[in-house]
């Protein structure tokens, strides 16, 4: 594990200390969990943004619609008795 040193505003450090005591966690573990959650949120936001942009791209939407037609056709074929 790598050591990381940082400065924090006093008010934030006080909140960190209080929360770490309440949860009975070392401060470094609380920071690690909080940062991991925050970075996951950023990744999800970027992923969502990329889907929104794709939804505005006519070429991508046409490809998706063509793929959906093929998918529905395959579903119909696989559900047919025989």
**Rounded mean pLDDT for each run of 10 residues along the chain, 82 residues in total:** 92 97 96 96 88 78 79 74 60
In this predicted structure, what is the pLDDT of residue 82?
55
The upper half-sphere exposure of residue 50, i.e. CA atoms within 13 Å in the direction of its Cβ, equals: 6
In this predicted structure, what is the pLDDT of residue 9?
97
In this predicted structure, what is the pLDDT of residue 81?
66
Angle at 46 between CA 35 and CA 34, to 5 degrees: 10
In this predicted structure, what is the pLDDT of residue 38?
96
In this predicted structure, what is the pLDDT of residue 51?
75
In this predicted structure, what is the pLDDT of residue 80?
64
Backbone angles phi, psi at 49, to 5 degrees: -60, -40
Q: What is the pTM of this model?
A: 0.58
């Amino acid at each position: 594990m790598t050591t990381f040193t940082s400065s924090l505003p006093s008010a934030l450090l006080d909140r960190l200390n209080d929360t770490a005591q309440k949860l009975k966690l070392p401060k470094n573990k609380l920071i690690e969990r909080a940062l991991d959650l925050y970075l996951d949120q950023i990744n999800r936001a970027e992923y969502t943004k990329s889907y929104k942009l794709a939804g505005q791209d006519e070429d991508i939407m046409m490809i998706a619609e063509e793929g959906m037609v093929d998918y529905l056709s395959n579903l119909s074929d696989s559900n047919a008795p025989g």
